A = this chain, B = another copy of it.
Amino acid sequence: MTEPAATMTPHQREADDPHSLVVRFGADNPLHMDAGVDLAPFTVAYQTYGTLNAAKSNAILICHALTGDQHLANQNPVTGKPGWWEIMVGPGKPIDTDCYFIICSNVIGGCMGTTGPASTNPVTGKPYGLELPVVTIRDMVRAQAMLVDHLGIDQLFCVLGGSMGGMQVLQWAALYPQRVFCAMPIATAARHSSQNIAFHEVGRQAVMADPMWAGGRYFEQGTDPSKGLAVARMAAHITYLSDEALHRKFGRKLQNREAPTFSFDADFQIESYLRHQGSSFVERFDANSYLYLTRAMDYFDLASDYGGKLANAFKGTKTRFCVVSFTSDWLFPTSESRAIVHALNAGGASVSFVEVETDKGHDAFLLDEPDLFAATRGFLGSAARARGIA
């Protein structure tokens, strides 16, 4: 057994007993993982919004990013905050729950109810920790496909997501082209760059350098690798913003003081902001999940599965694509999206490309970006007419 519930934090509890819809796949229905292991049993936790129409033709799967979860348009059960994409998804919103049936599942390797390293390993009765096989983007997509099967949906109207979510979108379109009517990869890449692997490795080393991480066995040890995880989050968070946005928001402004203190206190607002990002993150996220999900992104290289030629991943596809990037995103720069567009063109796909002008960096896909909203509404509307969705 894991620790008694009384000592568990809300985010620990969520791993085994989520505030979500849940589908449990048994021994007869294992997840075939790229690591060469069949995972069974396993659980997928998910949320839905809107109503599936009679033809089952209006389902949109939204794939979440590295530290996202399935709670995109409802109050988050751990943080108590609004869903992470309420600005985008809801009645009358760009992804309109009055028209579409939205599915969002926590990814394999996550920590919000889908099987991940914080989940109890039924064989040992203890959290998996590092005993869970390393997961890949394709494993995430396979698990989502099993969920979509479970929901009785043959073809998704759209698969859509940003960042790591965008990787899943591309993987869906490559793996199950006949099941994806249209696809919208946002602020993403078809392979993780060397610089991005480097930033992820820093984050993992920060977690693993924390003695409280205890080789990944911190739940049983009663320790908490929150310091290491906070450092990882701080480093990553810088990459989600842009130099311009940091300058505009914080510049060199001091935090509640008139002059520097000549100390290592958080004199600057940017320091205080980053520390807050670190400390709030560790309250909602599992350190081992952070290792697994960053690793999944590092391993992502779609072309490598198709003889090194990305166009082959999309050859003859009937899926309609809309690829979106942001001018100030240096983590997944526009050049990565252009490479996807070129491959789609070479593969003969129908593709439109939107580069949104913004100074908000990678995080722009989560923020109030009217051009993103307009592109999403327009692309979905046009595809819905083509598919005959009322």
**A208–B262 touching, CB < 8 Å:** no
**B274–A198 touching, CB < 8 Å:** yes
Whether A34 sits at the interface, judged by CB under 8 Å, is yes
Kindly state the separation between the CA atoms of A44 and B270 in the bound complex, as whole angstroms.
33
Q: How many copies does the complex hold?
A: 2
Q: How many residues of A contact B (CB 8 A)?
A: 57
Partner of A197, one of B202, B208, B268, B330: B268
- A202-B274, A209-B228, A301-B252 are known contacts. Are A264 and B295 too (CB-CB below 8 A)? yes
**B198–A270 touching, CB < 8 Å:** yes
- A247-B194, A262-B34, A270-B198 are known contacts. Are A278 and B205 too (CB-CB below 8 A)? yes
Kindly state the separation between the CA atoms of A175 and B241 in the bound complex, as whole angstroms.
35
- A209-B210, A270-B201 are known contacts. Are A192 and B275 too (CB-CB below 8 A)? no
Kindly state the separation between the CA atoms of A254 and B202 in the bound complex, as whole angstroms.
17
Kindly state the separation between the CA atoms of A231 and B236 in the bound complex, as whole angstroms.
13
Q: Which chain A residues (217-268) contact chain B, with CB distance < 8 Å?
A: 227-228, 230-231, 234-235, 238, 241, 243, 246-247, 249-252, 260, 262-264, 266-268
Contacts of A234 in B (CB 8 A): 198, 201-202, 205
Partner of A238, one of B202, B251, B274, B291: B202
Measured CB to CB, the closest approach of chain B to A273, in angstroms, equals 8
Among A238, A247, A299, the most chain B Cβ lie within 10 Å of the Cβ of: A238
**B231–A205 touching, CB < 8 Å:** yes
Contacts of A227 in B (CB 8 A): 209
Measured CB to CB, the closest approach of chain B to A212, in angstroms, equals 9
Given contacts A195-B243, A201-B234, A235-B235, list 18 more A-B pairs with CB under 8 A: A191-B252, A193-B252, A194-B246, A194-B247, A194-B249, A195-B238, A197-B270, A198-B270, A198-B274, A201-B268, A201-B271, A201-B274, A202-B238, A205-B231, A205-B275, A209-B228, A243-B330, A243-B333
